[in-house]
Amino acid sequence: MFDIIIPARFGSTRLPGKALRTIAGKPMVAWVWERAMQAGARQVVIATDDDRIADEMTARGAEVAMTRSDHVSGTDRLAEVVDQLSLADDAVVVNLQGDEPLMPVANIQRVASMLNETLAADMATLMEPVGLVEAAKESVVKVVASDTGRALYFSRAVIPAHRDAGEPARRFRHIGLYAYRAGFLKTFVGWPPAVAEQSESLEQLRALAHDAHIQIELAPEPVPAGVDTEDDLVAVQDLLSAGS
């Protein structure tokens, strides 16, 4: 059993009003919510501090939790909702970003199952192979994992590096879909940002700085990029209009 929380904010530097931008006749956050509702979660909650998002999604039948407006990240917003819902420390919570309208349902289900299968893990997430051209982009977060599926490091740099001749190691793109144990999530947001986290601008490095166990594996289904820019929005619009 697991719960899904969808952090959704109206403000966005690169794409203002992102959550409510229309894609194939529906707001983006509505597409995300519909995907989440297909995953078999105990409950799906949209976490927002904006009345426009709340009104739109409540009218569509979604459960909405209003949060403070001063959260630095979606993870902080997630933790507030975990408190509002009084979830037990061992509850599994999936953080489905409000700008991932194409996230496959199978991936949502899998990331939740990983915590039920790996009891030592605090968090779970997914990855997929990436080529060198794509890996060279700072916007694409790379990850290196152990042979047992434990995340070792995340970076905007190309990792692992290829120094000598011979076959280079495979590289993997991190997919920003997480499952947490509720108790760990509450602990996590109480930690100050880590040095590596601030350097890379990657929040998951705070967990690794505290030796948290992040379980990671290949995504069951490929994941198209989320929506961060106007070009992303157009690309997703084309895919969803075509019935993807």
User: Would you say residue 203 has pLDDT above 80?
Assistant: yes
The pLDDT of residue 124: 98
Range name among 74-88, 94-108, 175-189, 215-229 with the lowest pLDDT average = 215-229
Give the whole-angstrom CA distance, residue 33 versus residue 52: 16
The pLDDT of residue 243: 63
Task: Write out pLDDT tens, residues 19-49.
Answer: 998 888 899 999 999 999 999 999 999 999 9
Average pLDDT score over residue span 206-219: 98
User: Would you say residue 58 has pLDDT above 80?
Assistant: yes
Residue 194 CB contacts under 8 Å (≥ 6 apart), including other chains: 205, 206, 208, 209, 210
What Cα–Cα distance (Å) separates residue 240 from each residue in 126, 194, 236? 23, 38, 6
Which pTM does this prediction carry?
Answer: 0.93
CATH 3.90.550.10 assigned to 3-121+174-241 = yes
What does the block give as tokens for 243? 């019935």
Query: Any idea which residue has 């993997």 for tokens?
Result: 172
Whether the Cβ atoms of residue 125 and residue 111 lie closer than 8 Å to each other: yes
Task: Write out pLDDT tens, residues 117-148.
Answer: 999 999 999 999 999 999 999 989 999 999 99
The pLDDT of residue 200: 97
User: Would you say residue 72 has pLDDT above 70?
Assistant: yes
Q: Angle of helix 28-37 relative to helix 105-117, nearest 10 degrees?
A: 50
Q: How far is CA 86 from the centre of its chain?
A: 22
Give the whole-angstrom CA distance, residue 91 versus residue 176: 20
SS (H, E, C) 193-232: CCHHHHHHCCCHHHHHHCCCCEEEEECCCCCCCCCCCHHH
β-bridge partners, 6: 46
Q: What is the mean pLDDT of the chain?
A: 92
Q: Where are the alpha helices (DSSP H) in the chain?
A: 28-37, 51-59, 74-85, 105-117, 132-135, 182-188, 195-200, 204-209, 230-241
User: Would you say residue 5 has pLDDT above 90?
Assistant: yes
Q: Where are the domains of the chain?
A: 3-121+174-241
